Structure 1
Amino acid sequence: MAHPKTSPLRFILFAALLFLYCGSLQAQGKLSQKLPVDPNVKIGKLANGLTYYIRKNQRPEKKVELRLVVNAGSILEDDDQQGLAHFTEHMAFNGSRNFKKNDLVSFLQTIGVEFGADLNAYTSFDETVYILPIPTEKKENVEKGFQILEDWASTVAFEGSEIDKERGVVLEESRLGKGAQERMQKVYLPKLLEGSKYANRLPIGKDDILKTFKSDAIKRFYKDWYRPDLMAVVVVGDLDVTEAENYIKAHFTKLKNPTKQRPRTDIPVPGRKQSEAVVVTDKEATNHLIQIYYSTQKAPVETTVNDYRTSMVRSLFTRMLSQRLQELTQTANPPFIFGGSSQGGFVRGYEAYTSYAVLGKGGVEPAIAAVAQENERARKFGFTPAELDRTKKTMMKTMERAYNERDKTESETLTQEYIDNFLEKEPIPGIETEYTYYQEYLNGISLDEVNQYAAKTIPPAGASKLVVLTGPEKADFKLPSSDELLALTENASKAEVKPYEEKAIASSLMEKTPTPGTIISEKENKELGLTELSLSNHVKVILKPTDFKNDQVIFAGTRFGGQYLYPAEDRDNAEFASTVVTQMGVDQFSPTDLRKVLAGKNASVAPRIGTISESINGQSSAADVETLLQLTNLYFTKPRKDDELFQSFVAKQQAMYQNMAADPQFTFQDSVFHILYRNHAWSPRVPKVETFSRINEQRALEIYKERFGDATGFTFVLVGAFDIAKIKPLIATYLGSLPATGKTYTFKDVGLRPVKGPMTKEVKKGTEQKSLIRLFWNGEAPYSDSEQLKLQALIEVLNIKLIESLREELSGVYGGGMFGNLNKFPYNNYSIGASFPCGPENVDKLVKAAWAEIDKIKANGPTEADLNKVKETWKQQYEVNIKDNNFWARQIIQSIEYGSDATNVLSYEKRISALTVKDIKDTANKYLDAKNYVQVVLNPEK
């Protein structure tokens, strides 16, 4: 029998289907592949089980970030050890085999590593991480860095006298956390973590144990859990990989695990069986907060490419729901001040769906209704194509920027990725691979897929939950009982909802391009790499193209003017004018509309009216400089009036501040301002509810237009990844077209001066046994850059001595220190302050000790060694800053405002090297006058 002829069309269709089928199999095969590990990082494991991660990275140059990661935290403490995981972290800085008490911190300061700012550590429920950045110019310093890690890992001394000294420091850290939030947390946390050990293992521990534990308890914790099989060493920076690996092997191979190991098991968090609500109040609480916690579940671990793709779906869902909730705050009577919902991490290995809202003036019911109904709307109807499209663009832009900066990523950022990989198995495929995944999969994620994820993820009405309401005892709305709160939540979830309605907006920022101005002159400063343009509208633009980042442009603009030009009765309008405008938007765009029209772009600007100047600051990616300049033009030419958004702003601010006076810190700061400035009309202040009632929308907008409606005298600065030839036409178009009259702008001195001392005041507020010491030295003094440098050096030297005395010797503080500046405007003056949180019983002792350190400097100057520590720290900071776009923008703006020589930035190292002990001694005697100071102390009411 003859075979029938095959139709050519049937053959083509068959071939096409076969191709699609094979392509589908290929795609499924790729999605099932295991996620790769970034080839740029070397991961190894020693025979004793210690894991290590090494990556060579030259951002910043001549510096390496070292981390010791211990997979042990407070959750592993025995009952008699509560707080000792954290205490162990403290003791690591208080003596080991190779570093005696204070030797460690002192050595690191000599090589430019600052305690607290650079050298640090933290302890959580599940881990302890030690942070150690080391300059790499000298090999012996790198060697010592690894020696420090080894000592932390294996030879912490735990000397009895040092334990006793450190008790005071840790108790002071514990004291800092005490207050309304801590008291309320103690009530609802056991319910939130019911059935789990986490409920009773807060890292700070229990004060009674911290005061009385025996040394064998902390040594037992260290012996049990500080062992190589629970540790990782992370090395990222300007160091050869082989060299780093050799250091790790030399220092950590010899570490041994205990013969009898306690098992490091995951701690379970049982799922919630039934719904419950709890209302917790405190008279010092400042805001009402609703939190809804649904039942916990095991968190998925990302191991395959498909898992990574699923994480994109989750991110799309989270972002879209977050934006919907944000939009609700842009109404005349917002249901809450801010809120959110997401599926996310709970404690290690577990996640939960949670919602929260900070309540507005309307109280509990509208907030719960809004959050619950937005959840239900997304669960039932999902999202719109426009929402998905915008969010995809935004996510892709974020990934593109990370990819573009892949060779300029800071070492510190990379270390965190490797820490998360060790502790929680977070994947580290590398930015190149992640960017490829985004290109391959993001656009292919369908709306139906995201909506199915929402329907599956958002718990339905009736799902088991814990509803927590916390806040002040007194308020202008009635608080429900626990039963009423739960009923409100359940009923809100059952309310009928309609699909989300998408509002149509313009597709571009500007309907019409402005008529360009002209560049009338161009001046080059080759020494600093600057090009200065003078525009036809009396505006100057300073350009500094750099290669510090591949995809970053920093923008700033400034001019004298400001709030002080207005009468005191206009203060509220002037002070909040720029904030009001940013809340209302520009041209036809509300803030929500701006976010939508800017989807897929990275550009932002914010105007500000200060006391003696007006300014504008922003940033963008390299590709979005035009958008950045368009936004700037609109903020100058088309601020938007929106009655509803203005009312929304006022309502939210009043709700935020209505109970703020209950907070002792708030009351204290308010009192400090009154004491220092004797109720001057322009005294610094903390806002009150009535402050926002006095803002007049029309007058605030008028003031804004007066400050920004004329660009005469503005100098704009752009620093970053751009080409001068390409950016000049954009500058002429968007900055050269700004309106300008040519008038002269300056500022006004309103006569605001702090009181003269000596003066000592006490403020009594609060129920906790917490005090706060504030010291101030103020006066008139001529400004100069060299004098500013001397004053900063004095403050840094004193901070070294105050840490040694008040913390290490007296065990009276956990943190605090001195700060200060010379100021040129509105008048030449100096302002120095000191702040020390402490126990009431230690106030007099600490004040006396602080003055003793000041008097030593005034009498003898600092030691050469301490001054050199400051110089070396500044040198290390400068080497990083000099390759930072933000730093350059600040320096250029400051040189404009202060009329100083911008080239001073190049002689910085020479100028700090020239500082002498005598300079610091003379500076201390000039400014720290024992006859002209103000001391204000916050003490508890009882």
Structure 2
Amino acid sequence: MFSHFLRNACLAVVLLSHSFVAGAAPKPATAKPAAPRIAALKLDAPIPVGPQVKVGKLSNGLTYYIQKNTRPERKLELRLVVKAGSIQEDEDQQGLAHFVEHMAFNGSTHFKKHELVGYLQSIGVKFGADLNAYTSFDETVYILPIPLDRPENLGKAFQVLEDWAHGLSFDDADIEKERGIVLEELRLGKGAGDRIGKKIWPKIYNGSRYAERLPIGKEEVLRNFKPETLRRYYRDWYRPDLMAVVAVGDVAPATIEKLVKSHFGKLANPTPLRPRVYAEIPAREETEAVVVTDPEAGGNSILVRYPVQPVREPDTVRGYREQMVEGLFGGMLGARLQELSQLADPPFLGGGSGVGKLTPFYKSFNASAVIGPGGAPKAIEALVRENERVRRYGFGQAELERARKNMLRSYERLYNEREKTESGAYVAEYMRNFLQQEPIPGIAAEYRYATELLPGVTLDEINAYARRTIPADSGKLVIYTGIERADSPPPQGDALLAALAAAEKAEVAPYEEKTLGAQLIAQPPKPGSIVLETTDKQLGLTHLTFSNGVKAILKPTDFRNDQVVMSAARYGGQSLFGDADILNARYANAIVASMGLKDYSPLDLSKVLAGKAAAVTMGLAGYSEVLGASSGATDIETMLQLVWLRFDAVRRDEDLFKSFIGKQVEAARNRLAQPGARFGDAVVATLYGNHPRAPRPLRPEEFEGISLDRSIAIYRERFSSAKDLTFVIVGSFDPVKLKPLLATYLGSLPTPDIPTAWCDVGLRPVKGVVKRAVHSGTEPKSTVSLTFTGEAPFSEAEQMRLQALVEVLNIRIIEVLREELSLIYGGSAGGQLGRIPYGNYTLSVTLPTGPENVDKVLKATFDEFERLKREGPTAADLAKVKQNWIQNHRKALRENGYWLGRIQSALLDGTDPAAILTHEERVNAMSAAQVQEAARRYLNTENYVQVVLYPEKKAQAAVKEAPAASAN
């Protein structure tokens, strides 16, 4: 059900997606859409299956879900869901549930090896990004989005699903080839997280089977299993009574149902049936502390897990109401912990408490924190103290009202978008219904539940729930994980338990609610006026110029009913400040944002904005200044007020500045322990040397050079003026109603004269061939990084050719290095053209592999470079790229963010925004010869940087586990 999206963030203002795009002017959403009114809700009434979906079951037990949905048009989202995963593996099969998933792309009854992926790529389905699959403890899911521009695609897609269900080939030679790929995937996952996990999973899962059946499996099994062992898993568990077909998209349901029956009705269950048993998690009787450290850990953290309880998804209206109570409780408690993290000397960098799922059928109340300099006992004391404060005194009425407003607004937005929700969201909902029995009444029913039930939730009820959920006396599991440092020994388990016990017994006072204003701006600014208005009928744009010189471009759309997005950009940015100021300039926007607005801290601001969907970000990039904003259709004025305040109401808060810097220092210190981070730093250092403008993360000691007052001064210097800004606004609004608001808030922005041009700061990559080896990390892992750079004239046409080259490279990386040679699990190429501060290009390739395979990977990669320069892309590969681009573009044309981005980049780059209308023609006109020429130009083997990561030249370090401490 849609409330799933609200569980973890139901009390935060639901911000808008940053993927955005033409259409007729929409009808703006009303402030409070009316939910369907029928007879009064009965709390003990069962939750029905909503009318939007047809749920059926074949005689062999296979379940199917079918829904007609036109977002996006001419596309169908298909899933084959198997209710079996690694938990079902026998001792000699550990890792083979996941291996079966890999074999689904290696040949079947109707598709030879490589034929399936090649066919799907030819119709625009990209491997990895679109076509995919995953294996978990309790399920395996195959993901197949199908474009419907060709009639034959639909039938062939169902043939693919049927083959996955019972027609995999399991050829011995293909299994051996895939063995190397899966072992590379296992290698990729090795590191501190894996080492620590193997120590703590048995505790997390309290000795249950979950700790023994991690989906990736055991290396010795993967290396040595016999093919028949793999086939046995497939025969036992890929059966119709454990399967569901989910189909949501732009197809008539009757057509889909016919295909389901014809392709899956003939499947038979094996005899005898192995029982499908869910692993149980035993109850914890005693309190125990576990300390695990590793020299490469990414940070220090603490988890306090309260008793594990079985989960029962709501099957009545009363159960749904209880779930909303749980969401309100979690959001209010989270807000209190957020407040603690903003202290000048916070007890933790970030913390949270709430009820969370451990598996689909078990949950528990947890308290967790990322630990800062104060250490683990201080973090535990703060977490448990706040939990105790809530358990003893409960919440206040103001907290409940804010939480209620936010939750209602979240439901409202989902209801407003009910006819424009993406098919993928529905698919995920129906998968959860099959796997976890989550109800699927439909958003109309859920919105009705929210509007009728939430107002009746009382403070006494919430506080009673808090007392039940945070038990005073119960067995708890306390887990500390952290970096093993000689200069900073980890806490002992006894110390953690002592901190826990002390916090539970300590005296705590009731929470004090701070009195805040009811609105952002008491009196709107004196409006400016619109002095010029023109229209662009071809693109559906309205151009406005205000009396202060600020401009706006309006693009009303009907893509969403409750979404507005806005951006603005101009040149300048960090380039206008000297090297001595670069740290202050780089962090100016983050520092200012961390302190809030006007008289409000960030937490205060979230309280004032309760029930609103609006957000604004501003920042200084290397050569530009950018503003991004979003809101719901009824919250546009709030968004504009936030924009106005970002120019006028910078807030100075010494405590929040200290908190911000402290978190950055700790994060930087933790980052340096990670081999991947050290490798990334080496790539940047090799490419740019020690240039102060190089795009690298700071070292911990460098944060001492950041000044609060200088950072604020830099921010004010750039954002005290809106000179030369053009605001692009796209989404669900009425231009007639919007114009007066824009005149008030944009037309009144200050516009004193400031420079709005970039400066060349002299940042250039190294020239020639530079090779470097980096030794970091204890696992047998390597990564190859190749970066090609140089000068190149910028144009949209050339950018498209470079991107085509990158996509062809990605196809070849998968086909050659992965499928043919089994040298990698995954790798990727990326590239772009730039015109600031000079016409330039960057093309990079990143390939994780084993140390013993580095030379083979390099040779195979450079062989592909030379082949592309010599022969160009094959017609088939280029056609795959073009088809995927065309499919994505057609979908993007119905997204607000796409239009916003294209209009904004055209303004900044001086290109023609109307090029969006000729994209398909330009894609189709691109030739293999043009891509070949791009390969010769950009894959210049006389000018590139090669950095290779190798493990450290010493014995592998071992994760350390301190003796567990327990208290009865």
Residues of 1 paired with 2:334 and 2:781: CA distance? 37
Alpha carbons 2:377, 2:495 under 8 Å: kept: no
Q: Which of these residues, 176, 188, 211, is aligned with residue 200 of structure 2?
A: 188
Q: 1:37 aligns with which of 18, 28, 49?
A: 49
Matched residue, 2:748: 737
CA distance in 1: counterparts of 2:533 and 2:594, whole angstroms: 37
Q: Work out which of the residue numbers 311, 325, 344 in structure 1 matches 2:356.
A: 344
| Number of the residue aligned with 1:159 | 171
Q: What's the CA shift for 1:478? A: 4.5
After superposition, the C-alpha distances for 1:610-656 in whole angstroms (9 at most, x for unaligned) are 01011110110000000000000000111111111111101111122
Q: Within 5 A, what are the aligned runs for 1:891-902?
A: 891-902=902-913
Which one of the candidate residues 109, 115, 134 is aligned to 1:103? Answer: 115
Tell me, yes or no, if structure 1 residue 541 matches structure 2 residue 575.
Answer: no
Q: CA 1:288 to 1:475, structure 2 compared with 1: closer, same or farther past 3 Å?
A: farther
CA contact (8 A) 1:669 1:686 kept: no
* Residue in structure 2 matched with residue 7 of structure 1 by the alignment: none
Tell me if the contact between 1:713 and 1:744 (Cα under 8 Å) persists in the aligned partners: no
CA separation in 2, counterparts of 1:654 and 1:802?
A: 38
Give aligned pairs, total: 916
TM-fit CA distance, 1:479: 2.4
| Deviation at residue 757 of structure 1 after TM alignment | 2.2
Provide structure 2 residue ranges, at least 5 long, that are not aligned to the other structure.
Answer: 1-37, 954-968
Q: Distance in 2 between matches of 1:917 and 1:853?
A: 15
Contact 2:529/2:743, CA 8 A, preserved across alignment: yes
* Residues 446-478 of structure 1 deviation map (CA, whole Å, 9 limit, x = unaligned): 000000000000121x41011110101117654
| Aligned positions of 1:424-573 closer than 5 A | 424-460=436-472, 462-474=473-485, 477-573=488-584
The amino acid that maps onto 2:889 is: Y
State the alpha-carbon separation in 1 of the partners of residues 489 and 455 from structure 2: 48
The residue number in structure 1 matching 2:860 is: 849
Q: 1:631 aligns with which of 642, 645, 665?
A: 642
Taking structure 1 as reference, are residues 684 and 744 closer, same or farther at Cα in structure 2, changes over 3 Å only? closer
Structure 1 distance, partners of 2:41, 2:582, is: 66
- Given the alignment, which residue of 115, 118, 136 partners 1:124? 136
Shift in Å at residue 194 of structure 1? 2.8
* Counterpart position of 1:601: 612
Q: 2:715 aligns with which of 692, 699, 704?
A: 704
Alignment RMSD (CA, Å): 1.2
Alignment partner, residue 752 of structure 1? 763
Instruction: Give the residue type in structure 2 aligned to 1:872.
Output: Q
Contact 1:555 1:716 in 2 (8 A): yes
Residue 660 of structure 2 corresponds to residue 679 of structure 1: no
AA aligned opposite 2:907: I
Letter in 1 for 2:294: D
Looking at structure 2, the residues matched to 356 and 172 of structure 1 have their Cα atoms a distance apart, in angstroms, of 32
Partners of 2:293 and 2:490 within 8 A in 1: no
Partner of 1:936: 947
Q: Which amino acid aligns with 1:864?
A: A
Does the CA-based 8 Å contact 2:301-2:368 persist in structure 1? yes
Please give the alpha-carbon distance, in whole angstroms, between the structure 2 residues aligned to 1:181 and 1:244: 43
Spell out, residue by residue over 1:381-440, the C-alpha distance to the aligned partner (whole angstroms, 9 max, x if none): 110000000000000000000000000000001000000000100000100000011111
Deviation of 1:193 (Å): 1.8
Q: Give the letter for the 2:697 counterpart.
A: V
Residue 301 (structure 2) pairs with residue 289 (structure 1) = yes
Paired residues for 1:771-782 under 5 Å: 771-782=782-793
Would the aligned equivalents of 2:565 and 2:896 in 1 still touch at CA under 8 Å? yes
Residue 346 of structure 1 aligns to a residue whose secondary structure is strand
Candidates 219, 229, 247, aligned match of 1:217: 229
Aligned position for 2:624: 613
Question: Which of residues 138, 143, 158 in structure 2 aligns to 1:146?
Answer: 158
Distance 2:878 2:69 in 1: 31
Show the 5 A alignment for 1:415-430: 415-430=427-442
**Alpha-carbon distance between aligned partners in 1 of 2:631 and 2:597, rounded to the nearest angstrom:** 18
Q: Deviations over 1:880-915 (max 9, x none)?
A: 001100111000110011000000010000000000
1:658 Cα deviation after fit: 1.8
Q: Indicate the percent of aligned positions where both proteins have the same amino acid.
A: 52
Asked if residue 834 in structure 1 is aligned to residue 852 in structure 2, the reply is no
What are the superposed Cα offsets for residues 842-871 of structure 1, whole Å, 9 maximum, x if unpaired?
111011111111111100111111111100
Higher relative contact order (CA 8 A, sep 6+): 2
> Partners in 1 of 2:835 and 2:327 — Cα distance?
48
Q: CA deviation at 1:301?
A: 2.5
Q: Any idea what SS the aligned residue of 1:815 has?
A: coil
Query: How far has the Cα of 1:89 moved from its partner?
Result: 0.4
> Which residues of 2 match residues 651-690 of structure 1 at below 5 A?
651-690=662-701
Which residue of 396, 401, 409 maps to 1:397? 409
The answer on whether the counterparts of 2:78 and 2:144 sit within 8 Å (CA) in structure 1 is: yes
Q: In structure 1, the residue corresponding to 2:109 is in which secondary structure?
A: coil
Q: CA deviation at 1:487?
A: 2.0
Question: Within the alignment, does 1:407 sit opposite 2:419 as a pair?
Answer: yes
TM-score (norm 1): 0.96
- Residue 61 (structure 2) aligned to one of 37, 49, 55: 49
Identify the residue that residue 585 of structure 2 maps to in structure 1.
574
What is the TM-score normalised by the length of structure 2? Answer: 0.94
How far the C-alpha of 1:28 sits from its partner, in A, is 9.7
Alpha-carbon distance in 2 for matches of 1:843, 1:532: 55
Distance 2:718 2:82 in 1: 54
Aligned partner of 1:642 among 619, 644, 653: 653
Partners of 1:597 and 1:867 in 2: CA distance? 53
Residue identity matched to 1:502: E
1:294 is displaced (CA, Å) by 1.7
Task: Give 1:744 shift.
Answer: 4.5
Are the aligned partners of 1:334 and 1:652 in contact in 2 as well (CA < 8 Å)?
no
Measured after TM superposition, the shift of residue 138 of structure 1 is 1.9
User: Residue 144 of structure 1 aligns to which amino acid in structure 2?
Assistant: K
- Say if 1:522 and 1:532, in contact at 8 Å, map to a contact too: yes
How many angstroms does 1:293 deviate by? 1.4
> Following TM superposition, by how much is the alpha carbon of 1:691 offset from its aligned partner in structure 2, in angstroms?
2.6
Q: Secondary structure at the match of 2:352?
A: strand
Distance of 1:472 and 1:347 partners within structure 2: 27
Q: How many angstroms does 1:486 deviate by?
A: 1.7
Is contact 1:538-1:742 (8 Å) kept? no
The one-letter amino acid of 1:125's match is F
Look up the SS of the partner of 2:661 in the other structure.
Answer: helix
2:46–2:315 contact (8 Å) kept in structure 1: yes
- Mapped to 2, the partners of 1:903 and 1:722 lie a distance apart of 22
CA distance in 1, matches of 2:294, 2:789: 38
Tell me what 2:340 maps to: 328
Residue 137 of structure 1: how far off its partner (Å): 2.1
Picking from 851, 858, 870, the partner of 1:859 is 870
Equivalent pair of 2:572/2:755 in contact (CA under 8 Å)? no
C-alpha contact 2:47 2:315 (8 A) present in aligned 1: yes
The residue aligned with 2:282 is 270
